A and B are shown apart, each in its own frame.
Chain A
Amino acid sequence: MKVVKLHEGRSHEWLVFGRDEERPSKIIDTNQYMIKTANHAIILDPGGIELFSAMLAAVVHHVPIQQITHLFASHQDPDIISSLGLWDKTLPHATLYAPWLWEGFLRHFGCNSIKYNPLPDEGKSIRLDDIEIQFIPAHYMHSSGNFSVYDPQAKILMSGDIGAALLPDGAPLFVEDFDHHVEKMRLFHQRWMPSNRAKKDWVRRVRQLDIQYMAPQHGAIFKGKDVNRFLDWLDELEVGTGV
């Protein structure tokens, strides 16, 4: 599992975990994120059960497990959070922030000790030591209960499946050529995103944020101007093409 520091500030840092070489084939590659503050850490979209061991091993290179006090699941998909049952054994005192809509479903993965903190549809903010973390509504993008995560201090938006690209193994972690990258994203967004109205709503919300990095759960991370390029592209794209 590769680990890259996305942001390092006075009060906190962002780490990306991904491109796991030992990932079983046929399993979609995912990026996991961790925000680490002085005394806490939150893992964003901790990933599927199949990469739990690799993820846990990578995490303890950076924090003692007791410091991980929070988890976040953008939605209910197995590649996002089917590892929940094992995190539940690892971090029995942690709190999971996830859409209220999925509570009864996510508990099927095993959530006996971890506290489930249901996110309301309108989203909310929490504090982790000195920083604020905002959960931004992203419903129907693609899941019907779905959130993005925004850190106003580091100016990072963790966008979950939005901005995802299906890339070959070993692809670079950052978008290098936007026009070329578009082709790797098109099908994913057209087929997995169901609603043009929801898409417009999300783009409108996100345009109001100051974003330096947009970090999706699959594929490559957008930097600087590519973030706006992506928003423009998505705004124009016809989605929900499965019917």
Chain B
Amino acid sequence: MPSTPKNSAHFFINAATVAAELSVVLTEAKNISLEAMNAKALVARAGDNVRTFKPITDFMVELANDTIWLVKEINREALVLSRTSLSDLHSADAHERFKQAQARSRTAPFGDTLDPVAQSASHQHHQQSMQLKRHMRKLFELLDEIESRMLAANVVTATSRLEAATAADSYQASLEGIVVKLEKAANRIKHIASKCRHSLER
């Protein structure tokens, strides 16, 4: 966990970068949502021919909505994290400077009058580090969640493929097209989520 000033220094930049990367995920999630709408229309038109595809379209809608919500949450959390790591950096700096002053004034007649200030700076720094850790944990949890949604999406694409293969010929191509798009979007989201995780862990 980053608690040293050096880590915080790159951290507040990375957290801000994460927020920027996530805009791509949002676009992909909106694509899934659009694709789900197409699939729904298709299922309605085809009736009994693709009845088994109905739960899949429902899942796609749910997946898109959840992802959009998660991205917004991650975005918010990443910005909070960026701010928190900056405060952590400041509090670490203040803590260090008061410590230096204390070390230099050990023999000073009024050196002990510094103690409460140095203590409060140390306390503040500790609080900031704790808060930073808390926000980081939260952000990782959200990334976990998005990744596990995408794993579920992979399972669903596998079953959908089977379903598409057994559907009437006239619908097969369209259904397979929908499955491919869902798979691509899910993979891209997974890729970005793990990229974000790596840049935060670095």
* Interfacial residues, chain A to chain B (CB-CB below 8 A): 49, 52-54, 56-58, 60-66, 85-86, 89-90
Contact = CB atoms under 8 A, between A and B. Distances in A.
Contacts of A56: 97-98, 101, 105, 114
Contact of B111 (A60, A85, A86): A60
Contact of B114 (A49, A54, A65, A85): A65
Given A52-B97, A65-B114, A89-B94, A57 B108 contact: yes
B110 A64 contact: yes
Interface of B: 90, 94, 97-98, 100-105, 108-111, 113-114, 117, 120-121
B97 A86 contact: yes
B79 to A, nearest CB: 21
Nearest to B102: A57
Contact of A65 (B100, B103, B104, B117): B117
Contacts, number: 61
B110 A57 contact: no
A60 B108 contact: yes
B interface: dominant SS: helix
Contacts of B94: 85-86, 89
Nearest to B121: A89
Q: Main SS of chain A's interface residues? A: helix
Most buried by B among A53, A63, A64, A66: A53
Given A86-B94, A89-B120, A89-B121, A65 B101 contact: no
Nearest to A110: B90
B94 to A, nearest CB: 6
Contact of A53 (B90, B104, B120): B104
Most buried by A among B97, B98, B102, B121: B97
Given A53-B104, A89-B121, A61 B109 contact: yes
17 contacts: A53-B97, A53-B100, A54-B101, A56-B97, A56-B105, A57-B102, A57-B104, A57-B111, A58-B104, A60-B109, A60-B111, A60-B114, A65-B110, A65-B113, A85-B90, A89-B98, A89-B120
Contact of A66 (B98, B108, B113): B113
Contact of A62 (B102, B110, B117): B110
A202 to B, nearest CB: 35
